[in-house]
Each structure stands twice: as C-alpha cells, then as structure tokens.
A and B are shown apart, each in its own frame.
Chain A
Amino acid sequence: MNLQFQGARINGIQLVLPKREVSFDSEASSYDFSLQQSAKLKAVLGFDRRRVVADDVTCSDLVVAGFEALSRDGLLDLKTLDALIVVTQTPDYLIPGTSYVIHGRLGLRQDMLCLDINQGCAGFVVGLTTAFSLLNQKAIRRVALVNADVVSRLVAFGDRNSRPIIGDAASITIVDATSDESLIYGNIKVDGIGWDALMVPAGGMKIRPNTQTAIPEIDANGNSRALDNLVMRGDAVFNFVMKEVPTMIHSLLENGGVALSQVDGFAFHQPNPFMLRKLAEKLGVPLEKMPMDLVRKFGNSSGVSIPAVLCTNFEASYFEQPRVMCLAGFGVGLTWGSLLINMSKISFLNVLEV
C-alpha cells in the first residue's frame, strides 16, 4: 500500500542503550559451537557484542530515563507533548499498555493521547506513519514516538540461533507538525500467513505460562528453548526479506520520483550484517550508504534498530542541509514497511547509556 504524508517532520531522536554489554566470546561455550563455527558466525552473522538489560529492567525504565535526560538537557519540554505512541513487543504488563505506565511515571498532562502498538522489526516505520497521521489533528502538534524492546528477557539461554544477536534498547523520536510542504512517501505491506515465523508461543491468552511452558526442549538445529521463549524461523524470515524488500524499495522510490542514487542514506532494520549485505547487493546500494554494524556493536534491538542506526551512524550536523533518507523495517507479522523522507535541521541525535 502506497502512503503519502505532508506537514510532519522528525525533530530529534534520543536513543537509550543499557550500559550492560555481553560478548559472544564470553558466552560461546554455552552454545556448543566448534571454534571454526564460532569464528564464522562472528565474521558473517555479526555475533559479537550486544547490550542487554538486567533481569528486572523494563521498557518503561529505559524510556523514562530517556525522557528525563531530554528534559534535563533542555531538549524537550514534556508539557509540549500532545500524543505518546509506544511501540513494543515486550510491554511492562499485559494490562495496561506501557504508554500509560510511562505517562504516569513522567506525570504528563491529561490533555493528550496515549497509544500502544505491538510491532517489532517494522515498528519504527509503523510508529512514524501513525505519528504522521495523528498530526492531521489541529490539537496534535507534537508526537513522541517511543520504540522500546527488551527481547533479551524472552530469548532462551540455549537459543544459539537468536540469542547471540538480540539486544535491548529504547528510542524517543519527537515528531512535529511543520508548515514545510515537502512530501513523505511510505509503503507498508503485510502477510499474516507468516504470523508464526517470529513469535513467543506462551504468555498470552492462547497458552498461559505455567510450569510446563518453562521447560526447554531441543530442536533439530540444537537450539534449546521453551514455549515461554522467543522462537524465530530465520530461514523463513531471510527468504521473505529477500523476496519482498527490494520490490518494496523500488516501488517506494518510483512513487516518490527519486532515483536510488539520489538517496543519501539507507537506514534499515538490522537483522544481521549477512542479510543486510545481501539486501544491499540485490538493491544495488553502495555498502557505505547502508550501515550494517548495529548487530555487531549493540545487538538487534527490534523496533529500535532504525533510530539506533540513525543515532549511532549520523551526527545531527549531517542533517543541517536536507538529506533524502530511505528507512525500512521488516519482520514480525510478517510486515514490511518503508519511508522516503527528507530529514533536515534535526535538533538532536543523542545516545544515552543507562
């Protein structure tokens, strides 16, 4: 589906990373890989360093710290927020939505809209399109889009396919109404047939967590995980991404009347460097225009990956002149979405470590 927006701009992005870093080297012995396999996994899939929260840290903890830092640094007056969108797959509670918990902890004003969206890998694109839509309301001039995930808490210790790449993070993106008339183009698609390619089987209403759902079982690839844990069919995701994402990007650029070579940067979701390299090759994007080192340095932080790429690979000063950016997220759902956006005069692209 082609989308089009006007009158909205990204003002600034605050990334929040847990200080706690774990390395693949320190965990490799628990996965039963050979030395040769470990070396190859590090080189190809980017198994290296990742940031994870402590066992009792939640999304709202990261997000509240991020908002408090923005407020303290004079970058954001919390009273100017008209809407708060929280995109997460790892909410603090089943009920209520995490946006309300954050609203309460920050003491935000009553005259605003709170919204929770359950999305992961495409969560920044889905969240931004929602923020842009809300800005059509006269009463909504500023939206805080929060992306937050602590997926490390759901990944089994013995899941050697997924655990070495999973990182935790949160981001706060301030989206403002603007009189600037430049258009933002978007494209979103869904294939719900693949809803079980990335999932946590137990914990919702279908399978309540109990002593049985906590017992790990070993699969054909040597992964040990329980129904309470994240399960990801990596090969299914890879094939879907290679089939759908290049087509989507071509369609997005055509719709926006922009040639591939005119795009200044491609900030894509970060499943692993292998998949990003294959995507860049298939699209014909020069590797230096598509950052792909997030997994290696910080881990794949799900819906936070795109803002994390922007905050760790670009300076705000880079956007003093307008830059044409192509953002794309793809995964859980299955969903794939992209945006073609002119980013300029970005007030801040900050990284806070907590």
Chain B
Amino acid sequence: MDKIIAELCEIFEVSELPVDVRFEDLPEWDSLNALSVIALLDSSYGIQIDAARLQKFGSINEFAQHVLSNRK
C-alpha cells in the first residue's frame, strides 16, 4: 500500500498525497500524469486500465486497494 502511494507521489512530484480524494481532485492531475499512472500499472502491476476508469475510483485509497487485489 505504502509502495504504490510512494510511486504515485513520484509521478505527481509531491511529497505527500491525500488518499481520501479522487484523482481529478488533485491539482496535479492531467493527461500526462494519467498516462504515467497507466504505464506504472502496466509495467509494475500487470494491470491494464484506461483513463476514464482511473477517474471513476471514489478515492486514491480505493484505487490502491484495487491495484493490490488485482496485481498479476
């Protein structure tokens, strides 16, 4: 859990990330960061997900849980 949050912090270039908000609520959320998250999931977790799905997660916490339970 901490690992994926740390990876997200690296992508968004922030030291801390509020995990109870949605991706699109982050000021750093843009299409390049979305692509970086998609690439991270593909290369490190074997998960393919599209940008629309990323925005549907109720919170970053929910997203992280989903990744951890679906990783390959």
Q: Identify the A interface with B (CB < 8 A).
A: 37, 40-41, 44-45, 161, 221, 234-236, 238-239, 242-243, 274, 278, 281-282
Contacts and interface: CB of A to CB of B under 8 A. Distances in A.
Interface residues on B, range: 10 to 19
Contacts of A37: 30, 32
A38 to B, nearest CB: 10
Contacts of B43: 242, 278, 281-282
A44 B32 contact: yes
A278 B39 contact: yes
Interface in B29-55: 30-32, 34-36, 38-39, 42-43, 48-51
Given A242-B39, A274-B39, 20 more contacts: A37-B30, A37-B32, A41-B32, A44-B32, A45-B32, A161-B31, A221-B31, A234-B31, A234-B35, A235-B34, A235-B38, A235-B50, A238-B38, A238-B39, A239-B38, A239-B50, A242-B42, A278-B42, A278-B43, A281-B43
Contacts of B49: 239
Main secondary structure of the interface of B (DSSP, over half): helix
Interface of B: 30-32, 34-36, 38-39, 42-43, 48-51
Contacts of B35: 234-235, 238, 274
B31 A239 contact: no
B27 to A, nearest CB: 10
Contacts of B42: 239, 242-243, 278
A284 B17 CA distance: 32
A159 B20 CA distance: 32
